[in-house]
């Protein structure tokens, strides 16, 4: 398996050359796919990769899934009810996770990504790095959000995807979710 730096370098080359117009999509959506065991290594590399992008003339913007999920859940209208229910039954993880999943699946996370993409739309040489995709477990997968955002990606967007490639367009989130072939993006690594 190639190194993360080699995969990132290949990803940058693909961004420089643009997407081929194909049957799936023409939007500048890219996934750096890596083994879930390398999540910490990727997090350590992101500052160096960001500096490389800036040195290459990109205006780099980040969207942390972790930070945005935390914000959504902290500001959720049902937060007080959740806290009360959690106090009564603190080990009922299934119910807790279902409540949190319902909140995230209502489109709030998708709306935040869309807002970020809209902010970048008329800016030159922008690139968006979407990090911390592992925070979506066990609530959802990024493919569902990507599908809903078709037509909104005007700036190159890199998703740092912990999982496995199982085909040209199939990914296996975190290495244990079922294969999902509904991605409309370029995949490098994995």
Q: pTM (2 decimals)?
A: 0.85
pLDDT digits (tens, 9 = 90+) for 57-114: 999 999 999 999 889 888 877 777 777 777 777 776 677 777 777 777 788 889 999 9
Confidence of residue 23 (pLDDT cuts 50, 70, 90): very low
Domains of the chain plus CATH, in order, are: 4-189 (3.40.50)
pLDDT at residue 139 is higher than 60: yes
What secondary structure does DSSP assign to 31-76, as a single string? EEEE-GGGHHHHHHHHHHHHHHHHHTT-EEEEEEHHHHHHHHHHT-
Contact 19, 186 (CB under 8 A): yes
Look over the chain and give the mean of its residue pLDDT values, rounded to a whole number.
84
What pLDDT shows up at residue 145? 84
């Amino acid at each position: 398996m190639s190194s993360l730096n080699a995969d990132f370098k290949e990803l940058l080359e693909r961004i420089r050359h643009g997407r081929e117009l194909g049957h799936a999509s023409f939007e500048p959506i890219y996934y750096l796919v890596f083994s879930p065991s390398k999540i910490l290594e990727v997090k350590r590399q992101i500052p160096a990769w960001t500096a490389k992008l800036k040195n290459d003339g990109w205006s780099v913007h980040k969207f942390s899934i972790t930070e945005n999920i935390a914000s959504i859940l902290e500001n959720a209208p049902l937060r007080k009810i959740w806290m009360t229910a959690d106090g009564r039954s603190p080990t009922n993880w299934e119910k807790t996770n279902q409540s949190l999943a319902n909140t995230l699946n209502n489109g709030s996370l998708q709306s935040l990504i869309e807002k970020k993409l809209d902010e970048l739309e008329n800016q030159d040489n922008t690139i968006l790095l979407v990090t911390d995709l592992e925070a979506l477990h066990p609530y959802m997968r990024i493919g569902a959000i990507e599908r809903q955002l078709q037509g909104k990606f005007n700036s190159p967007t890199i998703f740092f995807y912990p999982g496995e490639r199982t085909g040209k367009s199939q990914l296996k989130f975190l290495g244990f979710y079922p294969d999902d072939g509904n991605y409309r993006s370029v995949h490098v690594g994995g």
